[in-house]
């Protein structure tokens, strides 16, 4: 099936565009952002190899080469895409300065031919002058010189009609998409923050620690793997650290925090995630803490029930995992343009698909800057990410994972009927979040409020699922006011 992915990698590609204009003579790869069926990605390629290079044949897309890839080196020089190691420029086939959809991409001696007017736009499209055509990889692939190499055709296609995952490129890469990741620090720290590591009951855990005073623990959302991390809070930490000691860990198996070991496969579950947060708090000896938790980080609600000695207040932000499963959300509709699966086969997380999700769940996606995306790519290239998927898909964490709904209902019963949670709680929901209908927030309020007079709600307008990133100052103000108010009333010790 044809997949139209609204690739939301444009902020990274602006950096790539600038890089491409200044690229030195040795050049770099021109690589599709999407992996497709090739783990090492597809790069622009001259057919043949060594003495058998076919400079006059149409260009193709081919497995990106880590060594001996002189035939994959290109660089932009103004509105010319030059073959870095040969005295040639990229050109599209045509006549009289005109081309047609499906025309081949070739190399010719550099000239003023308008069909050599080729540029990279901020969306990652390689455009042919003002023709409305862009470079597009073929839908089908086959083995090249053996099963370790794959190739696809390359042709010009209408920029606004082709599937985005076949039209979106990054330029100036050394190999396999590492250029963007290399702009991030080795610890994926961003925004001037300095990540640390600590052993939390045998799990090497990455975290940020800033400020002093009342401890505030930020728990990020996201599923397993490296698709989310403490970097989600990068726009909030400095502001909150002016008032509190702020700690933000990567959850178990997320970001750069390690996976559970083979002997602890049961921890690939919500129960394991909850235990890891408790272990982190105890490793730093900071409990009890005020917790601010987003989305799946809302498992902190259950930590507060199970370990009241560790939690003294709670802010839950757009958390389905904490709320009853009521109301109709628009998550599926919002994410149809960046699917996780095609024909039942998982295709992610690739960077284009992943950033697409961040953007589609945001009301204002401008919070996704180059630095954030580069660090995200770095984390997703860790070998442990593949192991996370291996364990998860192999059934690790069962039977708890499949029984979560029943367990959540029992926890809600303890809170609603037995009064198991009486700490101050603030529910933060965003008016424009497609994944979390407001009636779900009220259903959670009805669970929390019967035995707790310290439950409040806040709706942030003109914000999506990442309201805390989209409106960091407004969000920080609400959190600071909430904690300080209840502390002044003696409800937070």
Strand residues in 337-377 grouped as ranges (E) = 341-342, 345-346
- Paired strand residues for 338: none
How far is 252 from 219, CA to CA, in rounded Å?
11
483-492 contacts, C-beta under 8 A, 24 or more apart? 483/214, 483/216, 483/244, 483/290, 483/313, 484/243, 486/313, 486/424, 486/454, 487/214, 491/313, 491/423, 491/424, 491/454, 492/214, 492/290, 492/312, 492/313, 492/424
Cis peptide before 288 (omega within 30 of 0): yes
427-437 in b/e form (b: 16+ CB < 10 A) is: bbbbebbbbbb
The pLDDT of residue 22 is 38
The pLDDT of residue 383 is 73
Give kind and range of the element (H or E) at residue 266.
none
Residues 6+ apart with CB under 8 A from 218: 230, 233, 236, 237, 240, 246, 247, 248, 292, 293
- For the record, the structure tokens of 349 come out as 């997380």
Identify the structural domains of the chain with CATH numbers, from first to last.
Answer: 10-181 (2.80.10.50), 196-488 (3.40.50.1820)
Strands 215-219 and 245-249: parallel
The pLDDT of residue 305 is 97
Strands 196-200 and 169-173: unpaired
The pLDDT of residue 28 is 79
DSSP letter assigned to residue 39: T
Give kind and range of the element (H or E) at residue 200.
strand 196-200
| pTM, two decimal places | 0.66
Mean pLDDT by 10 residues, the chain (493 residues): 31 36 55 78 86 89 70 89 91 94 95 94 90 94 69 94 87 50 75 95 95 98 83 98 98 91 72 95 97 97 97 97 84 68 50 78 87 86 76 74 90 96 96 88 95 96 96 98 96 86
């Amino acid at each position: 099936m044809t997949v139209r992915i609204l690739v939301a990698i444009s902020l990274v590609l602006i950096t790539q565009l600038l890089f491409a204009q200044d690229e030195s003579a040795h050049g770099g790869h021109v690589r599709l952002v999407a992996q497709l069926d090739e783990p090492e990605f597809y790069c622009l390629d001259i057919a043949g190899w060594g003495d058998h290079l076919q400079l006059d044949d149409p260009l193709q897309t081919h497995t990106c080469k880590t060594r001996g890839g002189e035939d994959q080196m290109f660089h932009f020089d103004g509105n010319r895409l030059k073959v870095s190691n040969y005295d040639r420029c990229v050109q599209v086939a045509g006549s009289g300065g005109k081309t047609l959809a499906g025309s081949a991409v070739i190399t010719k001696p550099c000239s003023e031919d308008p069909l050599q007017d080729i540029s990279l736009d901020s969306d990652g499209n390689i455009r042919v002058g003002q023709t409305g055509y862009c470079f597009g990889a073929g839908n089908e692939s086959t083995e090249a010189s053996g099963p370790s190499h794959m190739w696809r055709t390359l042709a010009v296609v209408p920029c606004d009609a082709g599937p985005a995952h076949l039209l979106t490129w990054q330029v100036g890469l050394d190999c396999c998409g590492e250029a963007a990741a290399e702009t991030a620090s080795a610890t994926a720290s961003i925004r001037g923050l300095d990540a640390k590591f600590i052993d939390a009951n045998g799990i090497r855990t990455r975290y940020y620690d800033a400020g002093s005073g009342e401890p505030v623990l930020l728990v990020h959302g996201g599923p397993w793997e490296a698709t989310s991390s403490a970097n989600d809070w990068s726009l909030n930490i400095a502001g909150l650290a002016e008032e509190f000691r702020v700690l933000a860990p990567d959850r178990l198996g997320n970001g750069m925090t390690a996976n559970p070991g083979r002997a602890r496969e049961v921890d690939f579950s919500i129960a394991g995630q909850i235990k890891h947060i408790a272990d982190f708090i105890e490793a730093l000896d900071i409990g009890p803490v005020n917790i601010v938790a987003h989305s799946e980080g809302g498992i902190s609600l259950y930590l507060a029930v199970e370990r009241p000695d560790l939690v003294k207040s709670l802010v839950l932000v757009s958390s389905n995992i904490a709320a009853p499963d009521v109301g109709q959300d628009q998550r599926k509709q919002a994410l149809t343009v960046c699917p996780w699966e095609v024909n039942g086969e998982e295709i992610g997380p690739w960077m284009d698909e992943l950033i697409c999700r961040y953007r589609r769940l945001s009301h204002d996606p401008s919070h996704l800057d180059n630095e954030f995306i580069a660090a995200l790519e770095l984390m997703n290239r860790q070998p442990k990410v593949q192991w996370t998927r291996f364990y998860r898909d192999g059934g690790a964490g069962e039977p708890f994972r499949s029984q979560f709904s029943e367990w959540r209902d029992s926890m809600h019963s303890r809170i609603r009927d037995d009064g198991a949670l009486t700490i101050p709680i603030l529910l933060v929901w965003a008016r424009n979040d497609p994944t979390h209908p407001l009636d779900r927030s009220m259903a959670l309020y009805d669970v929390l409020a019967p035995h707790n007079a310290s439950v409040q709600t806040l709706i942030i307008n003109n914000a999506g699922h990442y309201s805390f990133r989209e409106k960091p100052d407004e969000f920080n103000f609400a959190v600071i006011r909430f904690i300080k108010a209840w502390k002044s009333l003696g409800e937070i010790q």
